[in-house]
Structure 1
Amino acid sequence: MYSLIPSDASGARLSVQERQRAVLEQMLSACASTSDVTDDGSDVWKVLIYDAAAREIIAPLLRVADLRARGVTLHMMLHSARHAIPDVPAVYLVAPTEENVRRICADSAKGMYASLWVNFTTRVSRELLETLAEGVAAAPVARQTNSLVAAPGAIARVYDMYADFLTLEDNLFSLNLPGLYTGLTATNVSNADVEACVNTIVDKLFCAIVTLAAVPVIRAQRGGPAQLVATLLERRIREHLIASNNIFSESGGSFSATAVTRPLLVIVDRSIDLSVMLHHTWTYQALAHDTLGLKLNRVTVPVKDAAGAMPGMPPPMKKRVFDLDKSDFFWAENAGLPFPKVAEAVETSLQRYKEEVADLNRTAGTVGENAIDPMTADVKDENTANKLAAAISSIPELTKKKRMIDLHTNIATALLDQIKDRGLDGYFQVEEELLTRPGTFDVGRVLALLRDARGTPTDKLRVFLIFYLCVDSATDAELSRCTAALQAAGCTDLRAYSYLKSIRAFTKSISSVPAAPLTTSSSIGSGYAASVLDTLSQVANNVNKLIISADKALAAARVVQTLMEQKGDTEILEGYLTLDPKAPKGSVGHAGKPAKEAILFVVGPGNYIEYQNCQDHVCSVVKQDGKNSTLVPNGKTLIYGATELCTGAEFLQQLHANGGPKPSPPVNGTGGSGALDRSNSTKL
């Protein structure tokens, strides 16, 4: 039995995405042999087979071109109908389940591939290993040899990958456990359900720790699921450290078990700040997630189909899927910026592109609208020839840049439509003030939003719940007025509100932020009511009106910053449990020196708002340049993780589920006749 972890951990910077990509690349190259190289000697041709969970792990890390560069000619689902390719090895990446193991045994028995390199996403149990061994032994092709490549259909090797989590950026990962928050926090949940959820979290979080080759010092919020996760995780790491096949010592990386510098792992419960999960955001990446459904670094955007337009009719809309990751230079630079600045950046990039194209045309010999014929042009001059060659070589880069600009113009336009149609700028402004000045907030501003025609019922319920969570002084009369306005706006399902009322006395929040002066903001979306074709630069004209202030650190960012620096809020410093897997068993852990690297893990859902806020406030410092302030890196690294990344609407559904079964539809009359009120019915 083997475990596969990256052999090269060079560099002092923690990057969970690069580490997991290295694991997958090693997995694909493990089956290379001298007899199976490609024509150019780059790699062995192979087939990649995965299940649904593994497909999501691979998707943000390796595109089709990346797989092809590593010798993967075909990639298929495990349980799909597949043809035999008996002269090519197959690399499997699947979850360790009985169903998957039996399908692998069936592939082996049929001799589907030259050899089977089986990789389990996480640790496989002894029982499943025995099932695999028995299934292979019973197959007629099972002839084990001492050579690395056995008979056709034989199992060549079995790996524990410890890769059962999703990495979306260098500093962002998710355990991909949608809806698990309900299993942890619902009012009717049993102890067995909680225990099962915690064990699942520990299994997947341990995979992330192994992938990072890091033995962290653990600080955990006391008294809830975070403490349970921390205790079990510390025990799991300790068991591996004393084992003969210590997986942490195999990498020899700069963050291995023997390293002097060790990262800090901070584990918090979602209850530390519920309002951030309902917050309407204003940054580019978070807006794309909350309004366009950004998932696995891919976003689906409605765009105009000019080719399908009928004469005299507006062009129809079609949906296009775009990949967004750090290979996209615009996304890498602007993902965390407020949307008005992004709109300005789109205009700037487009203008710069036009200037580069004009310069290219001048260099290539274009005069006005008439290009010089290259067959008759005099290019005997060496300098002219060199310039022309340089101009031609720059065409692919300019083409790529134009494609990126068009992509982000489409995304920005789609976001602008959402902002305009739903009035999201108004929700953002009110919620920011709720988080900043809850003690002096006027309930009338919330009521105005609830009665506004713009915004979905979900938008209205989200802002009301933030008001309820932040304003302790809200009276019963004010809350009744708000709920009446919600019902009038079509929001009849208030189970989330009922749930929050039931737990409010037990939820200790530190989500209030330092007071900061707010500027009066006009509605950015309203400037586009006349036409969606107005230039995006008009948004940038309002750039100073809805910019997120640099001093608004959310609760999670303040906790991590305090624990990393070992100074500040004594309630945080003394209230968080300290566990050290390398300390003698039974000893009381000590926090140690200030940390430069940390991992923040939220037991419950997270989102891009909290992730970006942590990056801004933990890993950056504010640099003042006259009236302008910018964030510059401070040398610290923080990796953010959660059980899942979900939108405000998705989190609201989990709160609804915690509040009990969905209420029955209303009926006519008071006599209990049971007749449906057809005026409120919806056609399915």
Structure 2
Amino acid sequence: MVLVSAARDYINRMLQDISGMKVLILDSYTISIVSVVYSQSELLQKEVFLVELVESISMSRESMSHLKAVCFLRPISENIQHLRRQLASPRFGEYHLFFSNILKDTQIHILADSDEQEIVQQLQEFYADFVAVDPYHFTLNIQSNHTYMLPAVVDPSNWQHLCDRVVDGIAAVFLALKRRPIIRYQSKSDIAKRVAHETAKLMYQQESGLFDFRRTEVSPLLLVIDRRDDPVTPLLNQWTYQAMVHELIGIQDNKVDLRNMGKFSKDQQEVVLSSEQDSFFKSNMYENFGDIGMNIKHLVDEFQQISKSNQNIQTIEDMAKFVDNYPEYRQMHGNVSKHVTLVTEMSKIVEERKLMLVSQTEQELACNGGEVTAFEAVKNLLDNENLSEIDRLRLVMLYALRYEKEKPVNLMNLCNKLASQSAKYKPGQLVQFLLKQAGVDKRSGDLFGNRDLLNIARNMARGLKGVENVYTQHQPFLFQTMENIVKGRLKDTEYPYVGNHFQQGRPQDVVIFIVGGTTYEESRSVALQNASNSGTRFILGGSVVLNSKRFLKDLEEAQRITRSSPSVI
């Protein structure tokens, strides 16, 4: 079972057994959980005539006793208080309470004591405390994501809040999958270690009965790793469809907001990109940008053929046939215009920011050696007036990550050059902060494949074979991690086990959670790995879904807090 199916199944079970007109009451997080797996038309089919946020319900006094309230909320104290006020003075005829994670006994008692009018018909835990953006990719949408870069002493309450939220999300995934995993973590990361140990404590001690599922021959694996082990992937421009849309425009809960991109018709101002609801997107989400243009042309041609045939309506039978096909016709019309709009807007951005020029040097920095050539290439690009500030900064950061130990004087020259051009960033400080966070001394793995003999041989083989596309040479470090898991080569010293639970044999199911966020390039690697039929299925999760803007924003925020904190010397 994949995550989208698990989340949909929970929502189906909430709605289908409650007959009559319903209001669905959500919070600011569960609205994301529902929206990525359920469309508005599907909600209407389940007789949901109103969707409200729990905060606004609490503020209103209008009685709607003809509606049944279906509440799907995270089990946090604010939501319990909102419900307590609702139950004391109910607006709806019935209340059906569903929580996205484990409830505390005290919370159940508060709700029971508040239900004096006995209008609560049921209370259940439905473990969908994650946003299933794709079948094998989930996120937790954590706002204060930058906290993972801070030492615990700098911001202890937010650091613990981040750990708690990640543990809750991981627990819900395994409860939805009905599995209890063996747990490993990245040894060099304090936050990965804390998350791994607290997850183990929850699953094996505090809620061991809840996780007591039928044992499989080989237990699933949970691997908790830190974004800082691969800072390169979120800094790169992307050239496959889904990843490119997120990098250049932005995707939030499978929606793309185009309101700031130009004047579009109302139905094109926000478009949905879902592999579950859009067959063209499902077939093309991992394709290269050049191929997408051709595939959209085929889609347009197909639509024009259908349009022509629909113009030949001459009989009642023709009209009836057209009406029968009208939903599909409308959906295809929406899909064609949506994808044409996205590709057109991205083409404009690529041209304006000279991204093909920028990306070629980025890929060289990420994948190939040669400091002298790299330095000259970056220096020349910094002189190009067409480049945006963010693109200049990313180039210098990629150079710094690759060559921090080789030519510090060249890095200083690039930072000084960048500083003289930048109105927004203090590039020298930000680049140095990145190296303190994710430089070679902080990383566990061989990110650039130039330390380990096996990786050097692998890179040479790739170089000899050549690459199909110079813009997509890069493979995320996650690809190598998955390969090591499949081949039983993940080192115990770098990724130790929690407690006395060890893996016996190769796992069939692996959840990799990246504290600090995932990228769509990595989710593509997971999908391709799963399609290779290796015998191991991977699911990828993270605290947010990153693009370069979000990664740099988190970096800036962490740097600002670190600089102002007396706890950091």
Whether the TM-score (by the shorter chain) exceeds 0.5 is yes
Is the Cα contact below 8 Å between 2:218 and 2:505 reproduced in 1?
Answer: no
Asked whether 1:566 is paired with 2:488, we answer yes
Equivalent position to 1:593, from 505, 513, 528: 505
Distance 2:315 2:319 in 1: 10
Q: CA deviation at 1:113?
A: 1.6
Q: Could you tell me which amino acid in structure 2 is paired with residue 347 of structure 1?
A: K
- Is 1:492 aligned with 2:425? yes
Q: Contact 1:271–1:509 at 8 Å: present in 2 too?
A: no
Contact 2:27–2:54 (Cα < 8 Å) also in 1: yes
Higher normalized helix content (fraction of residues): 2
| 1:226 maps to amino acid | A
Q: Residue deviations 1:469-506, cap 9 Å, x none?
A: 12245423211221122123225323421312434333
Is the alpha carbon distance of 1:566 and 1:172 closer, same or farther for their aligned partners in structure 2, counting shifts above 3 Å? same
Matched, 1:112 2:91: yes
Alignment CA distance shift 1:20-1:496 (3 Å):
same
Partner of 2:81 in structure 1? Answer: 102
Match of 1:502 in 2: 436
Contact residue 565 and residue 595 of structure 1 kept, 8 A = no
2:391 & 2:485 partners in 1: Cα distance?
35
Could you tell me which residue of structure 1 aligns to residue 363 of structure 2?
432
| Cα deviation 1:643-681 (Å, max 9, x = unaligned) | 1112211111211222236999xxxxxxxxxxxxxxxxx
Deviations 1:414-434 (A, max 9, x none): 111111111122222111111
- Equivalent residues in 2 for 1:300-449, closer than 5 Å: 300-301=257-258, 320-326=269-275, 327-357=277-307, 360=309, 374=315, 396-440=327-371, 441-449=373-381
Q: TM-score, normalised by structure 1?
A: 0.72
Residue type of the alignment partner of 2:47: G
Letter in 2 for 1:404: N
Residue 66 (structure 2) aligns with:
87
Give 1:122's aligned amino acid: N
1:468 CA displacement: 0.6
Is the aligned partner of 1:577 residue 2:488? no
* Contact 2:248 2:346 (8 Å CA) reproduced: yes
Q: Which amino acid is 1:654 matched to?
A: D
Assess, with a 3 A threshold, how the Cα gap between structure 1 residues 456 and 89 changes in structure 2: closer, same or farther.
Answer: same
- Give the CA deviation at 1:50: 1.6
Shift in CA distance, 460/270, structure 1 to aligned 2, threshold 3 Å: same
Q: CA deviation at 1:547?
A: 5.1
Structure 1 vs Structure 2: percent identity of aligned residues?
Answer: 19
Give the secondary structure class of the aligned counterpart of 2:505. Answer: coil
Unpaired stretches in structure 2, ≥5 consecutive residues: 450-458, 565-569
1:242–1:103 distance in 2 versus 1, CA, 3 Å? closer
Matched, 1:181 2:160: no
- What is the CA deviation profile of residues 300-351 of structure 1, one whole-angstrom value per residue up to 9, with x for unaligned ones? 22676589xxxxxxxxx99711011122111101111111111121112223
**Per-residue deviation at 1:234?**
1.6
Taking structure 1 as reference, are residues 577 and 661 closer, same or farther at Cα in structure 2, changes over 3 Å only? closer
- Could you tell me how far 1:85 is from its partner in structure 2? 1.6
Q: Distance in 1 between matches of 2:267 and 2:279?
A: 25
Q: Which residue identity lines up with residue 392 of structure 2 in the other structure?
A: K
Equivalent residue for 1:554, pick from 476, 493, 513: 476
- Once the 2 structures are TM-superposed, how far is the Cα of residue 103 of structure 1 from its aligned partner? 2.7
CA separation of 1:636 and 1:395: change in aligned 2, threshold 3 A? farther
1:280-307, CA deviations, whole angstroms, 9 ceiling, x for partnerless residues?
A: 1111111111111111000022676589
- Change beyond 3 A, Cα 1:179–1:449: farther
Taking structure 1 as reference, are residues 74 and 450 closer, same or farther at Cα in structure 2, changes over 3 Å only?
same
Distance across 2 between alignment mates of 1:518 and 1:489: 39
CA–CA separation in structure 2 for the residues paired with 1:452 and 1:285? 28
Q: Which residue does 2:108 correspond to in 1?
A: 129
Q: Aligned pair in 2 of structure 1 residues 269, 276: CA closer, same or farther (>3 Å)? A: same
Partner of 1:75: 51
SS in 2 for 1:599: strand
Work out the CA distance in 2 between the residues paired with 1:455 and 1:644: 27
> Looking at CA atoms only, which structure, 1 or 2, has the larger radius of gyration?
1
Residues 1:520 and 1:477: Cα distance change in structure 2 (over 3 Å) = farther
| CA offset digits 1:613-657 (Å, max 9, x no partner) | 2333x2244xxxxxxxxxxx6564321100111221111121122
Letter in 2 for 1:606: T
**Who is 1:606 aligned against?**
518
Instruction: Extract unaligned runs of 5+ from structure 1.
Output: 1-13, 33-42, 143-149, 250-255, 308-316, 376-384, 522-543, 580-585, 622-632, 665-684
Tell me how many residue pairs correspond in the alignment.
543
Report the equivalent of 1:642: 542
Equivalent of residue 46 in structure 1, options 6, 14, 22: 22
Tell me the equivalent position of 2:192: 226
Read off the aligned partner of 1:479 and give its amino acid letter: L
* Alpha-carbon distance in structure 2 between the residues aligned to 1:394 and 1:190: 57
**Which of 376, 380, 386 in structure 2 is aligned with 1:454?**
386
Classify 1:104/1:297 alpha carbon distance in 2 versus 1 (closer, same or farther; 3 Å). same
In 2, distance between residues paired with 1:126 and 1:85?
Answer: 30
The Cα shift of 1:205 comes to: 1.5
Question: Relative contact order: is structure 1 or structure 2 higher (C-alpha 8 Å, sep ≥ 6)?
Answer: 2
Asked whether the equivalents of residues 435 and 511 of structure 1 are also in contact (C-alpha less than 8 Å), the reply is: no
Q: Write the distance in 1 (CA, Å) between the matches of 2:321 and 2:534.
A: 38
The AA in structure 1 aligned to 2:539 is I
1:209 to 170, 174, 178: 174
Residues in 2 aligned to 1:390 and 1:319: alpha-carbon distance in whole angstroms: 27
- Closer, same or farther: CA 191–663 of 1 in aligned 2, 3 Å: closer
Distance 2:377 2:146 in 1: 31
- The equivalent residue for 1:313 is none
Structure 1 CA distance for aligned equivalents of residues 319 and 328 of structure 2: 15
SS at match of 1:575: coil
Counterpart in the other structure of 1:16: 3
Q: Which residue number in structure 2 is paired with residue 39 of structure 1?
A: none
Q: Scaled by the length of structure 2, what TM-score is found?
A: 0.86
Q: Conserved in 2, the CA contact under 8 Å of 1:301 and 1:414?
A: no
Q: Match for 1:221: what amino acid?
A: Q
1:91 alignment partner, SS class: strand
Q: Is the 8 A contact 2:224 2:512 kept in 1?
A: yes
> 1:415-471 CA deviation, whole Å, 9 max, x = no partner?
111111111222221111111113454211111222222232122111211111122
Contact 1:289/1:647 (<8 A) preserved: yes
Q: 2-side partners of 1:411 and 1:272: how far apart? A: 32
SS at match of 2:120: strand
- The answer (yes or no) to whether the contact 1:284–1:335 under 8 Å persists in 2 is yes
Given candidates 133, 136, 141, the residue that maps to 1:168 is 133
Distance 1:636 1:242 in 2: 26
CA distance in 2, matches of 1:298, 1:197: 25
Larger deviation, residues 116-125 vs 267-276 = 116-125
The residue aligned with 2:202 is 236
Counterpart residue type for residue 9 of structure 2: A
Taking a change above 3 Å as real, the CA distance of residues 499 and 257 of structure 1, as seen in their structure-2 partners, is farther
- Counterpart of 2:456? none
Tell me the equivalent position of 1:582.
none
State the distance in 1 between where 2:152 and 2:195 align.
Answer: 20
- Whether the 8 Å contact between 2:229 and 2:442 is mirrored in structure 1 is no
Deviations 1:66-100 (A, max 9, x none): 11112212211222225212233211122334443
Residue 52 of structure 2: SS of its match in structure 1? strand
**435-444 or 48-57, which deviates more:** 435-444
